[in-house]
Amino acid sequence: MGRQRTRMEVWLGCGVATLAVVVVALTITIIVMVTKKSDTLPAAPTAPASTVSTVASTTSTIAPPPADPYQQPYNENLYDTIVRQNLAQQADISTQLLQEFQPMNIRDNLRWLTKTLHVAGTPENAAVMKQLGQQYQSYGLTLKTHDYQVLLSYPNYSMPNTIEVQLAGQMDWNLVSNGTAQLLGPPEAMQQENDSRALNWWNGYAKDGVATGRLVYANYGSLTDYVLLDSHNISLQGAIVIARYGDIFRGAIAVEAERRGAVGVIIFNDPLDYANDLPASDTFPNTIWLPPSGAQRGTLLQTDGDPLTPFYPAKPYTYRTTDEATLRKEHAMPNVPVTPIGYRDALTIFQQMTGPEVTGDFAQWKGGMNVTYRMNGGDSTFRLTVNAFTDMRTITNVVALFYGADEPDKWVMFGNHVDAWTFGSIDPNSGTATMLEMARVVATVSNRTGWRPKRTLAFCQWDAEEYGLVGSTEYVEEHLKLLENRAIALLNVDNINGNVTLAAKGVPLLYRALVDAAAKVP
């Protein structure tokens, strides 16, 4: 889940998404990379020595050199002259690159990339990274891998997070959330996704433990919402906050609640924001909209990169300048239990709430569930149990290089992460599967024609993005000087979805390149 743009992306100032863009990205490369002239075409095969003498003795004239198919008459166009582009060759290579893309390869890539749950720092994700590196190598690219030892967090998959309620004046606790989604979809998909770990709802870096208290609703958990609660003297001291996703970064929802004394935080996806306000029957698998048991997983980390090594690469020799307890105390990660839930369970919880209705200043706090939205749970007590742990794990970035012909030390970079919260078919492997095909296409056309891009292409596959841009941040921290001198441009994808309309964000410098490249997509 792209909670924000990757550090790499921000650093070079561009972010890109959607299928068309990747095709476009490739075309941009061609524009950015001023293609090399005919001297990169394969040399004409040399005839064996014996035939050379025969030829020499029977003809007295030396054959003219073969015509350069890309030779252009002198062009008055100042741009062409200055940049010395061989436009005919560029157009030809561009067409060959576009024609070489095989959509079925992207499908097959996606299949193997998403066969297992592959959360960062797990053996499953390490296996995906390894195979990805081998795949790039098999296309003829040079493989570099970069390991880091970082602090990650996991749920206890066998003990899902739970929420219980003890109604006012009663003794027993009733379960209102069992912390697990429901397996949905066509039978084939359900079979492929049959891994109970994919059903756990959890947030990265949530504090392990139990929170007990009254329940207070905080709308989107934005600063504006908390200030409104403050202004009405509604205290969060000792309370569990329930808030909905959709306005701000989830980590900030938790931190502001905690600053006001909250002991636990529950975050749900309101159907108004995530199901287009449709009834459950019009959600997945019948439509693309979020079903009642769907919940957004995601990190709560407030900083980018490995939390224990800010500004330094998390190598074995790096001094850890802080520790988990300090980070929690300083609100870089929450010091209270936090969990996401689906609106299936949020509905059950709101049905148990007895506080005043949201009206007046709070009228906008009403969402899309078929229930009366209330300010709090009255005198009932709620109990949130989060089963989680942190661990030092090794992550690996894969960087595959296709060396340029003229300026191999200048890099045009493509980036995307590989790790996912579950199978990652859309986020992020729809992008990864396409990047891999881009590499194959470039290598194939190069093998066929002898063409190489002017500059090196770097296919960067980041690890542990989901936790807070960890892989890419550590890579930049380790290679900052190098990148300052080598990086020419970065095109980043996260996931590829939507329709045929191109959506791209980038620095103004890339505007023309994007438009020109888009125009080449058939």
Ligand X SMILES: *[C@@H]1O[C@H](CO)[C@@H](O)[C@H](O)[C@H]1NC(C)=O
Torsion angle defined by CA atoms of residues 282, 365, 370 and 293, in that order, rounded to the nearest 10 degrees: 50
Give the number of other Cβ atoms within 10 Å of residue 26's Cβ. Answer: 27
- Annotated catalytic residue: which of 9, 100, 465, 477? 465
Among this protein's residues, is 164 annotated catalytic? no
Q: How far apart are the first and last CA of the chain?
A: 30
Q: Rounded to the nearest whole angstrom, what is the least distance from the CB of residue 442 to ligand X in the complex?
A: 8
Q: Is-contact 307 151, C-beta < 8 A?
A: yes
CB of 396 to ligand X, least distance (A): 23
Q: Which residue has the tokens 């062009």?
A: 75
Residue identified by tokens 């403050």 is 230
Cβ contacts of 160 within 8 Å, gap of 6 or more = 178, 179, 180, 199, 200, 201, 387
Residue 3: CA count within 13 A, CB half-sphere: 24
The residues with which 399 forms a beta bridge, in sequence order, are 144, 460
CA nearest neighbour of 33 among 513, 507, 443: 513
* CB-nearer residue toward ligand X: 160 or 307: 160
Cα–Cα distance for residue pair 194/380, rounded to 1 Å: 37
- Which residue type, as a one-letter code, is found at position 387? N
CA-to-CA dists, residue 348 to 142, 176, 382, angstroms: 54, 6, 13
DSSP 83-139: HT--HHHHHHHHHHHHHH--HHHHHHHHHHHTSS---TTSHHHHHHHHHHHHHHHHT
Binding-site ranges for ligand X (CB under 6 A): 138-140, 156, 158-159, 178, 180, 183, 190-191, 194, 232-233, 344, 370, 389, 440, 443-444, 447, 498-501
Catalytic residues: 465
